Amino acid sequence: MVTLLLNRGALISAQDHGGSTVLHLATKTGDQETIRLLMGKGAEVSPADRLGRTPLHCSAQLGYVEATKLLIDGGAFPQSTWLEEHHLGH
């Protein structure tokens, strides 16, 4: 579905009312295939939502280890205040 939407002109960086992007949503489900697709199409790896969470924060908090590794390998920076405040950076 994501491929179809992107092929029809959907904005890869579009945000919902909470500031989440499609990459945020993919990481909240641990969907590695969609994460790879989005990063391959040039999605920003570390956009913050309105609470300051990036896709990396979402995948780490939910325990999606492989998704978290994909994001780090794709350039997401694991050091952040949000991670430290939520005890995920330790």
How confident is the model over 20-35, as pLDDT tens digits?
999 999 999 999 999 9
How confident is the model over 29-66, as pLDDT tens digits?
999 999 999 999 999 999 989 988 999 999 999 999 99
Residue 35 near residue 26, CB atoms below 8 Å: yes
Number of domains in the chain: 1
Whether residue 57 is contained in a domain is answered as yes
Structural domain boundaries, residue 62: 2-85
Closest C-alpha to 30, from 73, 72, 62, 77: 62
Whether residue 7 is contained in a domain is answered as yes
* CATH for 9: 1.25.40.20
Whether residue 10 is contained in a domain is answered as yes
Q: Report which residue type is found at 8.
A: R
| Angular region, 44: left φ>0, alpha ψ -120 to 50, beta rest | beta
Whether residue 68 is contained in a domain is answered as yes
Whether residue 56 is contained in a domain is answered as yes
Whether residue 90 is contained in a domain is answered as no
